[in-house]
Amino acid sequence: MATPDAVRRHYDSLAFVYRTFWGDHIHHGLFVDGDGPARAQLRMVEHCVSLLGTFGRDVLDVGCGHGGTAVYLAKRCGCRVLGITISEKQGYLARENATEAGVGSQIGIVVADAERFAYPRERFDVVWTMESSEHFADKGRYFQNASHTLRPGGRLLLSAWTGSMRSARVREVARRFLCPQLWTSEQYESSIAAGGLRVRASEDLSRSVMRTWEICSQRAQAAKMAVQLLPTTARDFVAGIDVILEAYRKGELGYAVMTAEKP
């Protein structure tokens, strides 16, 4: 079951696997012109920054992983970033990465459940939500919270795996990757609007991100012997790579990036 505790255990125990297979940015890459994975991951962040258009001083990064994005934003935009992660292990890695990158004073990390977090009113210019909302049981409530914590004129960035829970493949991806539900772009758009934000942009990037999983699959294949020695959770995760890839190839799983503004 995709409970907050299960999500915490997943990221605590798989931090090493994520790092080995993909690095400290644990989101899809945006592949253009034969990009390698590291370049594609940064390109995704850069693309989202440019889609947001404006960048204020205070950023809330909900589901901040190992802090890869927080470090990038602190350096590139000079902003202050508060990262939330449910995983203690990730919190440790994110703080370590921020300090090593010389932006420790601009980045704060809180280990907390984002669905229970006390979001301060009108405190942030940007709420960055990259591939974390999939894990939330009450996404509608989350977008209300995002709206509440944004300053007027502030912006939400959302990137998410998308799909209809009517598809058995999508349900299987959701089950394996601890997502209570995956949503379609339309569900996200209407929930963001219902939360009080105005959707400014919505893009389908499925075709440009799918290569992420082709590369992970190749890496898993190459490390097949070593994978056999990993604990069951890690082996299950690796087995899930091909399930995702197939769902993308069939066009049932997708990837959306959206921005929205608080009026």
CB-nearer residue toward ligand SAH: 225 or 257: 257
Q: Does 114 bind ligand SAH (CB under 6 A)?
A: yes
Of 63, 150, 75, whose CA–CA distance to 109 is shortest?
63
Q: Does 132 bind ligand SAH (CB under 6 A)?
A: yes
Q: Does 96 bind ligand SAH (CB under 6 A)?
A: no
Q: Does 113 bind ligand SAH (CB under 6 A)?
A: yes
Q: In this structure, are residues 117 and 84 in contact, taking their beta carbons and an 8 Å threshold? A: yes
Q: Shortest approach of ligand SAH to residue 225 CB, angstroms?
A: 27
Q: Does 27 bind ligand SAH (CB under 6 A)?
A: yes
Of 3, 24, 192, whose CA–CA distance to 92 is shortest?
24
Q: How far is CA 198 from the centre of its chain?
A: 21
Q: Does 244 bind ligand SAH (CB under 6 A)?
A: no
Residue 41: CB atoms within 10 Å: 25
Q: Shortest approach of ligand SAH to residue 86 CB, angstroms?
A: 4
Q: In this structure, are residues 62 and 147 in contact, taking their beta carbons and an 8 Å threshold? A: no
Q: From the list 126, 130, 173, 197, which residue makes contact with ligand SAH (rule: CB under 6 A)?
A: 130
Q: From the list 89, 135, 139, 169, which residue makes contact with ligand SAH (rule: CB under 6 A)?
A: 135
What's the DSSP call for residue 153?
E
The whole-angstrom separation of Cα 161 and Cα 171 is 12
Count Cα atoms within 13 angstroms, Cβ side, for 154: 22
Q: Does 26 bind ligand SAH (CB under 6 A)?
A: yes
Residue the block writes with tokens 């399930």: 243
Q: Does 7 bind ligand SAH (CB under 6 A)?
A: yes
Q: Does 84 bind ligand SAH (CB under 6 A)?
A: yes
In the complex, which residues of this chain contact ligand SAH (CB under 6 A)?
A: 4, 7, 11, 25-27, 63-65, 68-69, 84-87, 90, 113-115, 130-132, 135
